[in-house]
Structure 1
Amino acid sequence: MAPDIPLNINIKEPRWDQGTFVGRANHFFTVTDPRNILLSNATLENARKIVHDYRQGIVAPGLTEDELWRAKYIYDSAFHPDTGEKMFVIGRMSAQVPMNMTITGCMMTFYRTTPAVLFWQWVNQSFNAIVNYTNRSGDAPITVSQLGTAYVSATTGAVATALGLNSLAKRVSPLIGRFVPFAAVASANCINIPLMRQREIQFGIPVTDEDGKRLGDSSKAAQQAIAQVVISRILMAAPGMAIPPFIMNTLEKKAFLKKFPWMSAPIQVGLVGFCLVFATPLCCALFPQKSSMSVSRLEPDLQAKIRASSPGLERVYFNKGL
Structure 2
Amino acid sequence: MREERLDIDQPLWDLSTFAGRWKHFAWQTDFRTCTVSNSELLEAKKLLENYKLGKEPAGTTQEQVVYAKKLYESAFHPDTGDLQNVFGRMSFQVPGGMLITGAMLQFYKTTTAVVFWQWMNQSFNALVNYTNRNANSPTTVSQLGIAYFSATSAAMITAIGCKSFWAKRASPLMARYVPFAAVAAANCVNIPLMRQNEITNGIDISDENGNKLTKSKLAAVKGISQVVISRIVMCAPGMLILPPVMERLEKYAWMQKIKFLHAPIQVMLVGCFLTFMVPTACALFPQNCSIKSNILERWEPENYELLKKNCEIKKIPTYLYFNKGL
TM over 0.5: yes
Task: Measure the CA separation in 2 of the matches of 1:216 and 1:128.
Answer: 30
> Is structure 2 residue 78 aligned with structure 1 residue 81?
yes
Q: CA RMSD in A?
A: 1.5
Task: Measure the CA separation in 2 of the matches of 1:296 and 1:67.
Answer: 44
The equivalent of 2:302 in structure 1 is 301
The equivalent of 1:35 in structure 2 is 32
Aligned 8 A contact 2:34 2:86 in 1: yes
Aligned 8 A contact 1:204 1:218 in 2: yes
* Pairing of 1:109-120 with structure 2 (within 5 A): 109-120=106-117
After TM superposition, the structure 1 stretch with the greater mean CA deviation from structure 2, 230-239 or 310-319, is 310-319
The alignment's TM-score, normalised by the length of structure 2, stands at 0.94
The equivalent of 1:218 in structure 2 is 216
Partner deviation per Cα, 1:55-95 (whole Å, 9 max, x = no partner): 33433322233322221121011110001111001000110
Task: Measure the CA separation in 1 of the matches of 2:90 and 2:10.
Answer: 18
Q: 1:319 corresponds to which letter in structure 2?
A: N
Q: Deviation of residue 259 (structure 1)? A: 1.4
Question: 1:140 is matched with which residue: 118, 134, 137?
Answer: 137
Task: Measure the CA separation in 1 of the matches of 2:204 and 2:10.
Answer: 17
Q: 2:237 corresponds to which letter in structure 1?
A: P
The equivalent of 1:163 in structure 2 is 160
Q: Deviation of residue 220 (structure 1)? A: 1.3
> Is structure 2 residue 282 aligned with structure 1 residue 284?
yes
Q: 1:152 corresponds to which letter in structure 2?
A: F
The equivalent of 1:231 in structure 2 is 229
The equivalent of 1:207 in structure 2 is 205
Task: Specify every segment of 5 or more residues in structure 2 that has no aligned partner in the other structure, as ranges.
Answer: none
Q: Deviation of residue 240 (structure 1)? A: 1.1
Q: Secondary structure at the match of 1:224?
A: helix
Q: Percent identity among equivalent residues?
A: 52
The alignment's TM-score, normalised by the length of structure 1, stands at 0.95
Partner deviation per Cα, 1:254-305 (whole Å, 9 max, x = no partner): 1122112111101111111110100110110000111111111222222233
Task: Measure the CA separation in 1 of the matches of 2:172 and 2:48.
Answer: 52
Question: 1:63 is matched with which residue: 55, 60, 63?
Answer: 60
Task: Measure the CA separation in 2 of the matches of 1:11 and 1:197.
Answer: 29
After TM superposition, the structure 1 stretch with the greater mean CA deviation from structure 2, 302-311 or 149-158, is 302-311
Q: Secondary structure at the match of 2:286?
A: coil
Q: Deviation of residue 5 (structure 1)? A: 4.0
Aligned 8 A contact 1:201 1:220 in 2: yes
Question: 1:311 is matched with which residue: 305, 309, 315?
Answer: 315
Q: Deviation of residue 19 (structure 1)? A: 0.3
Q: Secondary structure at the match of 2:11?
A: coil
Partner deviation per Cα, 1:130-152 (whole Å, 9 max, x = no partner): 00000001323211100000000
Q: Deviation of residue 3 (structure 1)? A: 7.5
After TM superposition, the structure 1 stretch with the greater mean CA deviation from structure 2, 10-19 or 175-184, is 10-19
The equivalent of 1:149 in structure 2 is 146
Q: Deviation of residue 166 (structure 1)? A: 0.5
Partner deviation per Cα, 1:208-260 (whole Å, 9 max, x = no partner): 11111111222111111100000000000101101111210111101122112
After TM superposition, the structure 1 stretch with the greater mean CA deviation from structure 2, 179-188 or 213-222, is 213-222
Question: 1:320 is matched with which residue: 302, 319, 324?
Answer: 324
The equivalent of 2:94 in structure 1 is 97
> Is structure 2 residue 196 aligned with structure 1 residue 189?
no
* Pairing of 1:237-276 with structure 2 (within 5 A): 237-276=235-274
The equivalent of 1:127 in structure 2 is 124
Task: Measure the CA separation in 2 of the matches of 1:11 and 1:109.
Answer: 44
Equivalenced residue count is 319
Question: 1:12 is matched with which residue: 9, 13, 16?
Answer: 9
Aligned 8 A contact 1:4 1:61 in 2: no
Q: 1:39 corresponds to which letter in structure 2?
A: V
Task: Measure the CA separation in 2 of the matches of 1:86 and 1:301.
Answer: 35
Task: Specify every segment of 5 or more residues in structure 1 that has no aligned partner in the other structure, as ranges.
Answer: none
Q: Secondary structure at the match of 2:116?
A: helix
> Is structure 2 residue 177 aligned with structure 1 residue 179?
yes
Aligned 8 A contact 2:214 2:304 in 1: no
Task: Measure the CA separation in 1 of the matches of 2:36 and 2:9.
Answer: 22
Task: Measure the CA separation in 1 of the matches of 2:205 and 2:10.
Answer: 16
